[in-house]
């Protein structure tokens, strides 16, 4: 059980950029549950999608793994032998929490924790790659190349599961969705001060793309099929599939 998120409960001056440090790792499960509509459903269904597509003897990557929720979900649904999980994050605090969360639920021989920026990770023999609200924190000029490398590191039949907060193209819709998201967070116990401070801290490090930009990037990288399978307000998840051409 994680602690309750109180990071922005008091006025912070100066207000620094949001980072995945020890304070965030301490409260992360509570923070994301109260901030992202449908997060628990997304994580559960990531496991289901992975169970459909993982291949014997392949690698599964959780890029920006935080505390390993997606990996735990995938491990619970993948039943083919010889799968190895690579859990990648540039925050040592998150990786320490990830190892603790795995405990005895995943044998140590079945996973590797990698402290590295996701842009630098080599992707090989990947039947499943997950980026669950990770790409939005990658510098915009690096995103196309990262998605292309993921595609190129997959055999036929591989899938990329990409969850992101998106930027609506219509200004009126953007205002409405932002107001509804604030109402969602207030209903989950956040104060106006908490909402305002966290928004400001995130805006400097989290750069959003439109749904159309995400789709175009995935297609341009070479994925043959792209499907949006989830939406909760402006939080969406896509699955991109590389066609299996084997006989």
pLDDT 10s digits, 12-66: 999 999 999 999 999 999 999 999 999 999 999 999 999 999 999 999 999 999 9
Q: What is the pTM of this model?
A: 0.96
58/110 Cα distance (integer angstroms) = 11
Q: Which of 64, 62, 66, 72 is nearest to 28 (CA)?
A: 66
pLDDT 10s digits, 171-181: 999 999 999 99
Region 118-142: mean pLDDT is 98
Q: Domain 39-167+208-241, what fold?
A: Rossmann fold (3.40.50)
Residue 246: is its pLDDT beyond 80? no
Tokens coding 80: 């083919």
Q: What is the CA 98 to chain-centroid distance, rounded?
A: 14
Of residues 204 and 199, the one with the higher pLDDT is 199
pLDDT at 146: 98
159/155 Cα distance (integer angstroms) = 9
Residue 1: is its pLDDT beyond 70? no
Residue 199: is its pLDDT beyond 80? yes
Sheet holding 225-232, edge to edge: 111-115, 84-89, 59-63, 126-132, 159-165, 235-241, 225-232
Average pLDDT score over the chain: 96
Q: What is the dihedral of CA 185, 190, 193, 194, to 10 degrees?
A: -90
pLDDT at 204: 87
122/139 Cα distance (integer angstroms) = 18
190/110 Cα distance (integer angstroms) = 38
pLDDT at 169: 81
pLDDT at 139: 95
pLDDT at 110: 98
Residue 95: is its pLDDT beyond 90? yes
CA dihedral (113, 54, 75, 226) positive or negative: positive
pLDDT 10s digits, 145-185: 999 999 999 999 999 999 999 998 889 999 999 999 999 99
157: left (phi over 0), alpha (psi -120 to 50) or beta: left
Q: What is the CA 38 to chain-centroid distance, rounded?
A: 13
pLDDT at 245: 66
List the chain domain ranges.
Answer: 39-167+208-241
């Amino acid at each position: 059980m994680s602690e309750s998120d109180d990071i922005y409960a008091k006025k912070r001056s100066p207000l620094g950029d949001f980072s995945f440090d020890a304070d965030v790792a301490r409260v992360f499960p509570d923070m994301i549950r109260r901030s992202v509509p449908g997060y628990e459903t997304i994580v559960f269904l990531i496991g289901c999608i992975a169970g459909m597509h993982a291949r014997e003897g392949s690698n599964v990557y959780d890029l920006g793994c935080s505390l390993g929720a997606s990996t735990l979900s995938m491990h619970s649904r993948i039943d083919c032998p010889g799968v190895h999980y690579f859990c990648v994050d540039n925050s040592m605090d998150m990786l320490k929490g990830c190892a603790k969360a795995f405990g005895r639920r995943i044998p140590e021989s079945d996973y590797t924790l990698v402290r590295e920026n996701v842009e630098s990770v080599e992707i090989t023999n990947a039947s499943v790659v997950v980026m669950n609200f990770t790409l939005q924190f990658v510098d915009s000029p690096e995103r196309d190349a990262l998605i292309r490398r993921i595609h190129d590191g997959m055999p036929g039949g591989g899938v990329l599961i990409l969850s992101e907060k998106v930027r609506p193209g219509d200004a009126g819709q953007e205002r409405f969705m932002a107001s509804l998201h604030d109402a969602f967070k207030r209903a989950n116990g956040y104060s106006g001060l908490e909402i305002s401070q966290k928004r400001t801290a995130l805006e400097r490090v989290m750069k959003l793309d439109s749904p159309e930009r995400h789709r175009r990037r995935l297609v341009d990288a070479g994925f043959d099929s792209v499907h949006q399978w989830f939406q909760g307000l402006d939080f969406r998840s896509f699955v991109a599939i590389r066609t299996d051409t084997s006989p």
